[in-house]
């Protein structure tokens, strides 16, 4: 349903909140239900413009919240010149039925039930939710903008419901098609190592500082606010920051601090990719790369033997031991690691869909690798590529108007 009372205008924007009841399992709609929330954003006077559905990165992250003066996220102002934008809180996030919720009380007693529930939190279910929203809003076709994991959703959408789409735009989010997850993660380890080496060239003093911080962690001297220790392997996951604009600086400023100080521990926790604030991100992380078959902790299996470098968006079984906030989800995560996931993409069908669009491929991206994205582009007729070293994985957040303007120009042959 649409809540008419939730329609408002502010600083030239018209905001409408949409809430829709959807099945947990779209193949069995008579089972459990959950609610999906989406916020429609339109420039006043632009109510008849075509629709653009924004698919957020993650998995497990909510859509951005629009603000004005200046408009944020930065790309939104550019998008509103051509579209009315729908910001979808993917299932389990934001104002959609959150995770954890109904299974929280029963988690210890029924991890199998929780895992069964989370089997329906991948791109395939998110796309089915979006299709119900499209039909509910009476939209014939809409365009997609997929950032990171949102691009995975957009590619699945293109593979399954191409007749519902007008254009597809990808930013740091063209996933590999048909590759085993361990092969994907092996490549991401290599790219994080490249970025770590660049960091130490830029900040030569940080190699020794990092070694000292890891020693302090190993000695149990780096303590969280709750008194628990920050382990060395958990600290190494701060390498996730190296794939983001400003991340190298954030790591450097962290390492300037005394690792035994409370400020160091607080800042380190804020930079780590996986934690208690958003358990969904950790629990379903590897499943987004499972284009058929079980992941079986692919990142852990792909990690080079004796690896002592920083790690990135790699979730390990030990995360559920070392991170106290994730400990309650350990058995659920183990069950999902053994789940025989269905395929997400049909390469033959993708090759038959001549649908316009454009993709920003970031040359140094350690999250979604250039080599994998460029291979996928070979089966996407109509999608034009912009490969650039000017931006990292969060280029849309860092320089949204420029990135989106370039993609729109590419799709329209104006570049």
* 213-252 pLDDT per residue, tens: 999 999 999 999 989 999 999 999 999 999 999 999 999 9
**Cα distance between residue 155 and residue 152, in whole Å:** 5
Whether residues 190 and 299 share a domain: the answer is: yes
Q: State yes or no: pLDDT of 103 exceeds 60.
A: no
Specify the pLDDT at position 270: 96
pLDDT band at residue 68 under the 50/70/90 scheme? confident
Whether residues 271 and 129 share a domain: the answer is: no
Indicate the average pLDDT of the chain: 94
Report, as an integer, the average pLDDT of 37-63: 96
Instruction: Report the number of distinct structural domains present in the chain.
Output: 2
Residue 70 belongs to a domain with what CATH number? 3.40.50.1820
The string of pLDDT tens digits covering residues 181-205 is 999 999 999 999 999 999 999 999 9
Whether residues 258 and 134 share a domain: the answer is: no
Whether residues 247 and 391 share a domain: the answer is: no
Whether residues 314 and 186 share a domain: the answer is: yes
Whether residues 261 and 285 share a domain: the answer is: yes
Q: State yes or no: pLDDT of 105 exceeds 50.
A: no
Q: State yes or no: pLDDT of 102 exceeds 60.
A: no
The string of pLDDT tens digits covering residues 277-323 is 899 999 999 999 999 999 999 999 999 999 999 999 999 999 999 99
CB atoms within 10 A of CB 6: 13
Whether residues 305 and 161 share a domain: the answer is: no
Whether residues 10 and 151 share a domain: the answer is: yes
pLDDT band at residue 5 under the 50/70/90 scheme? very low
Whether residues 270 and 349 share a domain: the answer is: no
Whether residues 112 and 241 share a domain: the answer is: no
Whether residues 262 and 317 share a domain: the answer is: yes
Q: State yes or no: pLDDT of 108 exceeds 60.
A: no
Asked which of 337, 359, 392 is the last residue of a domain, the reply is: 337
Contact 355, 305 (CB under 8 A): no
CB atoms within 10 A of CB 95: 16
Give the side-chain half-sphere CA count within 13 A for 30: 0
Radius of gyration of the chain (CA): 21
**What tokens appear for 85 in the block?**
């934008």
**Cα distance between residue 158 and residue 203, in whole Å:** 43
Specify the pLDDT at position 7: 84
**Cα distance between residue 37 and residue 29, in whole Å:** 18
**Cα distance between residue 100 and residue 278, in whole Å:** 9
Asked which of 279, 312, 337 is the last residue of a domain, the reply is: 337
Asked which of 315, 337, 359 is the last residue of a domain, the reply is: 337
Whether residues 330 and 350 share a domain: the answer is: no
pLDDT band at residue 107 under the 50/70/90 scheme? very low
**Domain assignment of residue 373, given as a range:** 4-178+343-411
């Amino acid at each position: 349903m649409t809540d008419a009372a939730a329609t408002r205008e502010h600083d030239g924007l018209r905001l409408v909140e949409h809430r829709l009841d959807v099945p947990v399992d779209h193949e069995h709609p008579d089972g459990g239900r959950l609610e999906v929330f989406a916020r429609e954003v339109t420039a006043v006077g632009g109510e008849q413009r075509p629709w653009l559905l924004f698919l957020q990165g993650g998995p497990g992250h909510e859509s951005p919240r629009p603000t004005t003066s200046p408009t944020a996220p930065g790309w939104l102002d550019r998008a509103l010149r051509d579209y009315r934008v729908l910001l979808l809180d993917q299932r389990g996030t934001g104002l959609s039925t959150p995770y954890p919720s109904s299974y929280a009380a029963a988690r210890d007693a029924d991890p199998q039930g929780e895992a069964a529930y989370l089997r329906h939190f991948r791109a395939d279910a998110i796309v089915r939710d979006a299709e119900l929203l499209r039909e509910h809003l009476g939209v014939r076709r809409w365009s997609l903008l997929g950032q990171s994991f949102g691009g995975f959703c957009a590619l699945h959408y293109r593979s399954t419901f191409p007749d519902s789409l007008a254009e597809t735009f990808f930013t740091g989010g063209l996933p590999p098609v048909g590759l085993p997850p361990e092969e994907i993660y092996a490549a991401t380890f290599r790219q994080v190592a490249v970025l770590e080496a660049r960091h130490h060239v830029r900040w030569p003093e940080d190699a020794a500082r990092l070694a000292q911080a890891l020693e302090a962690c190993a000695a149990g001297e780096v303590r969280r606010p709750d008194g628990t220790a920050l382990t060395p392997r958990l600290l190494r996951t701060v390498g996730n920051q190296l794939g983001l604009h400003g991340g190298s600086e954030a790591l450097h400023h962290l390492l300037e601090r005394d690792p035994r100080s409370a400020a160091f521990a607080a800042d380190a926790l804020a930079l780590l990719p996986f934690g208690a604030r958003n358990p969904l991100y950790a629990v379903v992380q590897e499943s987004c790369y499972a284009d058929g078959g079980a992941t079986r902790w692919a990142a852990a299996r792909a990690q080079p033997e004796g690896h002592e470098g920083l790690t990135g968006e790699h979730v390990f079984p030990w995360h559920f031991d070392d991170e106290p906030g994730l400990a309650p989800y350990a058995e659920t995560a183990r069950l999902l690691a053994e789940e025989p996931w269905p395929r997400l993409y049909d390469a033959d069908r993708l090759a038959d869909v001549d649908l316009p669009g454009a993709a920003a491929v970031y040359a140094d991206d350690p999250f979604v690798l250039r080599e994998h994205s460029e291979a996928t582009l070979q089966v996407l007729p109509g999608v034009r590529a912009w490969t650039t070293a000017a931006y990292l994985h969060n280029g849309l957040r860092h320089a949204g108007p420029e990135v989106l303007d370039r993609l729109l120009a590419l799709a329209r042959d104006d570049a």
